[in-house]
Homo-oligomer: A and B are copies of this chain.
């Protein structure tokens, strides 16, 4: 049995309840750790569940920043240095990843606070997360201010990618389950996944087949 919520009943929800409710409605989300450093060399690590694909040609990836404090450090570092990393979260590190959302003092790096290890390689200016199986080095490209709710969209170009060799298919598909990547829902729920199927390219009047 479905329960109906009108715009008025949603608007009247207590703020905390509304935040959980609306956040859940968006469905399962990508969840990753953003690694940055500032011009003084202090590293920062923050969890984001607002990362999304916007195009492969050129290879771009975007994310949304809310105006709240822990996210401001990451945004400032991206704008200051022009580079950041996106690191997939796996089952072994999701609790440490969640802990990066605590409001630490500016002088404390979330790498040290959570025990996750910063990894610098191939002269990329931002720190990767060593424990992460899929690591992406990104260069800042464009900032779009979303005035309707005071959020900011940051678009970056994918510059470096590290992926477990055994998770990459011949057609370029990356098996995220083999890489142990998790997903999240709402503000605080983490999930592993179970593959249903990969489906063939759909055409009118042609039955879909399995690609597995």
Contact = CB atoms under 8 A, between A and B. Distances in A.
Interface of A: 1-7, 10-11, 13, 15-32, 50-61, 64, 66, 88, 91, 94-95, 98-105, 108, 113, 122, 133-136, 141-142, 144, 146, 148-149, 151, 153, 155, 157-165, 168-169, 171-174, 176-177, 181-183, 185-204, 206, 208, 211
B186 A3 contact: no
Contact of A23 (B17, B56, B141, B163): B56
Identical copies of this chain, number? 2
14 contacts: A4-B122, A4-B161, A7-B159, A7-B160, A21-B174, A22-B55, A22-B59, A23-B56, A28-B181, A28-B193, A58-B149, A60-B149, A142-B148, A189-B198
Most chain B CB atoms below 10 A, which of A103, A155, A193 = A193
A179 to B, nearest CB: 9
A18 B55 CA distance: 10
Given A22-B59, A211-B188, A151 B91 contact: no
Contact of A15 (B2, B57, B191): B57
Given A31-B27, A98-B208, A173-B21, A3 B163 contact: yes
B20 A26 contact: no
B149 A54 contact: yes
Nearest to A174: B24
B102 A203 contact: yes
Contacts of A171: 16-17, 20
Given A2-B133, A18-B172, A28-B181, 13 more contacts: A3-B162, A3-B168, A11-B58, A17-B171, A20-B173, A21-B173, A22-B55, A26-B30, A27-B51, A27-B176, A173-B186, A188-B198, A193-B194
